A and B are shown apart, each in its own frame.
Chain A
Amino acid sequence: MTTPVLSARGMVKTFGRVVGLDGVDLDLYPGEVLAIIGDNGAGKSTLIKCLTGALVPDTGQMFIDGQLVHFKRPQDALDAGIETVYQTLAVAPALDIASNLYLGRERRRPGFLGSALRMIDKKGMRRDAGKALADLGIGTLQNMAQPVETLSGGQRQAISVARAATFGSKIIVLDEPTAALGVKESNQVLKMIREVRSRGLPVILISHNMPHVFEVADRIHIQRLGRCAGVVTPQTHTMSEAVAIMTGATTVAETPGRA
């Protein structure tokens, strides 16, 4: 059996008396799209925040390629090659598009200007930011020096997604990447997810949109009340069965699906 790229065991996260995660296991295999679905408050976002260093779990272990890791801050996960699009988008509104795309990993100018004066390569970053967005099929953004606060929610989301697609080297995590997008842009993101998968990069996708999930996911991790209620695939279970497990109307044991 192949080693999971990412594997989490017994993740627990509490917020005071509120239990966010109640001992969750998760495995992500090379080159797959793993969807995480669940009702509001099921612990989807908490789970991926623990996986990406945005939150530190109370207990639980994480392995990357079989190696035990401890993420104490988002930088640790980024260094490990895990790139995340958060639901809140995590963009700095007053900074321009290119600065946001390269935030935290600004490129320096070559030669003396970059090494001694630490001057950043604004032009180069703007040019490449434009390329990255064009690659995603987002042609409506032309001016990379435009502040992000002047953009629509969908355009901001596109920037977040482009950032993840550009820099993700190991795993890409997307928390509701299509929530603010229109039909056309959503399809672009789904296309991008498939492209990323074809590059061999695994993707974790959180979504409320069942048709999207069933369209791109290889496996579906169903989160319920802080626990994993089961892992199904689009082949074994129908959309309504997955929703029934998600809401507690049935369980994986009761509905084994067409295995």
Chain B
Amino acid sequence: MSTTLQPASTATEQFALRQRSPVQRVQHLLHSYPAISPFLVLVISFVVFATINPRFASANSLSLVVQQVAVIGALAVGQTLIILTAGIDLSVGAITILSMMVAAKVAEGGGLPGVLAVAVGICLGIGAGLFNGALVTRIKLPPFIVTLGTLSVFTALGLLYSRGQSVQASDLPSLLNWTGESFRIGQFRITTGVVLVAALYVVVGFALANTAWGRHVYAVGDDKEAARLAGIRVDRVLLSVYTVAGAIYGLTAWILIGRAGAASPNAITDANLESITAVVIGGTSLFGGRGALLGTLLGALIVGFFRSGLSLAGVDDQYRVLAVGLLVILAVAVDQWIRKVKA
């Protein structure tokens, strides 16, 4: 394409050609690449924590951080999809626990074989996601209300079904514990669960960035009516997002069994808020339509870095809670600021 730059003749054209101030340039850069700010926070926190306590940067400690982050990181993938459509999912943890307890109970003490138990867990997640999606698209309820309701419903079902009792790893087929097995890459200890989470990020990240479905997810979150008029079946896209998210939670249930070494109905009580925190710190807008999965990964790692770094620095764990809270506020403030970008 040929560009012909004519000399600016009018005052507005002069204005259009003005130099941008450094602050505006930063604003533009962040607008184009929203993952920059979480990336900077990640790098700075790494350097600071490694300086305070060199053990933080050791392969052992970093491996542990990654293993700790894996479960919330996986749930945050589903949460990202839903937040991109301008929704929110408060039932993340409840669906995961329900899927996990059912998968564990059906396999307990030589019940169903491991493969079927895993499949049951994932199918249950899909069903729960489909239920959320149907309430959002068919009955047109706001996602916040739907998932607030199903948070209680699925939590109660999980507790009732399991009678509030945990299932120990020793009573489970080996496939269910497989996600907790680890191997070494150099100094680093990696679990199969971590590998699964990494694969999840690659697959969903690819779908979001490179398929028509991904475009439609962004378009629906950005402007629902515009998407509808452009011929996108908005309800179908939303239903698919809640269903895929449900499948991810079902898969995470399996990863959680491996990580915890048991299926306990009282696990990951903070999953809802922690997954939303990872998404928001990662620069995805709560108003929908902008953000990227890479940011969520960085957001989840940042939370993990703060937990490990502050504990190795010997400070009270409440300082981590405080710091993460401040980061969330900062991240949303930055998001509001970069949304005001001008041409």
CB of B218 within 8 Å of the partner chain:
yes
**B228 to A118, Cβ gap below 8 A?**
no
CB of A150 within 8 Å of the partner chain:
yes
**B233 to A75, Cβ gap below 8 A?**
yes
Residues on the A chain within 8 Å of B219, using CB: 92, 95, 99, 103
**B290 to A94, Cβ gap below 8 A?**
yes
Within 8 A of A (CB), among B190-247: 206, 210-213, 215-216, 218-219, 222-223, 225-233
Residues on the A chain within 8 Å of B222, using CB: 92-95
* Interchain CA distance A86-B223 in the complex, whole Å: 14
* Interchain CA distance A222-B284 in the complex, whole Å: 48
Pick the contact of A142: B3, B225, B343 (CB < 8 A): B3
**B343 to A104, Cβ gap below 8 A?**
no
**B211 to A118, Cβ gap below 8 A?**
yes
Within 8 A of A (CB), among B1-44: 1, 3-4, 31
CB of B289 within 8 Å of the partner chain:
yes
Pick the contact of B226: A91, A108, A118 (CB < 8 A): A91
**A90 to B229, Cβ gap below 8 A?**
yes
Residues on the B chain within 8 Å of A103, using CB: 215, 219, 227, 230-232
**B231 to A78, Cβ gap below 8 A?**
yes
CB of A151 within 8 Å of the partner chain:
yes
- Majority DSSP secondary structure for residues of A touching B: loop
Residues on the B chain within 8 Å of A211, using CB: none
* Interchain CA distance A103-B1 in the complex, whole Å: 22
* Minimum CB distance partner of A147 in chain B: B31
* Minimum CB distance partner of B1 in chain A: A130
**B229 to A94, Cβ gap below 8 A?**
no
CB of B138 within 8 Å of the partner chain:
no
CB of A25 within 8 Å of the partner chain:
no
CB of B341 within 8 Å of the partner chain:
yes
Q: What is the 8 Å Cβ interface bit string for chain A, positions 173-207, against chain B (1 contact, 0 not)?
A: 00000000000000000000000000000000000
Residues on the A chain within 8 Å of B163, using CB: none
* Interchain CA distance A150-B339 in the complex, whole Å: 10
Known: A90-B225, A103-B219, A142-B1. A118 touches B213 (CB 8 A): yes
Within 8 A of A (CB), among B309-343: 341-343
Q: What is the 8 Å Cβ interface bit string for chain B, positions 98-125, against chain A (1 contact, 0 not)?
A: 0000000000000000000000000000
CB of A9 within 8 Å of the partner chain:
no
* Minimum CB distance partner of B220 in chain A: A92
Known: A94-B290, A139-B4. A152 touches B230 (CB 8 A): no
CB of A64 within 8 Å of the partner chain:
no
CB of A68 within 8 Å of the partner chain:
no
Within 8 A of B (CB), among A122-160: 122, 130, 134, 139, 142, 146-147, 149-152
* Interchain CA distance A152-B13 in the complex, whole Å: 13
Taking the closest CB of chain A, its distance from the CB of B224, in whole angstroms, is 10
CB of A17 within 8 Å of the partner chain:
no
**A73 to B233, Cβ gap below 8 A?**
yes
Taking the closest CB of chain A, its distance from the CB of B269, in whole angstroms, is 34
**A94 to B289, Cβ gap below 8 A?**
yes
CB of A216 within 8 Å of the partner chain:
no
Taking the closest CB of chain B, its distance from the CB of A186, in whole angstroms, is 18
Besides A54-B228, A73-B233, A74-B228, 16 more A-B contacts (Cβ < 8 Å) are A54-B229, A73-B228, A90-B226, A90-B230, A91-B223, A92-B227, A94-B218, A94-B289, A95-B215, A103-B215, A105-B231, A120-B212, A142-B3, A150-B31, A150-B341, A150-B343
26 residue pairs A–B, Cβ–Cβ below 8 Å: A73-B228, A73-B233, A75-B233, A78-B231, A88-B229, A90-B223, A91-B223, A91-B226, A92-B219, A92-B289, A93-B222, A95-B289, A103-B215, A103-B230, A104-B231, A104-B232, A105-B231, A117-B206, A117-B210, A118-B210, A120-B212, A134-B1, A142-B3, A147-B31, A150-B31, A152-B343
Cβ-closest 6 pairs across A and B: A106-B212, A104-B231, A90-B229, A150-B343, A92-B222, A90-B226
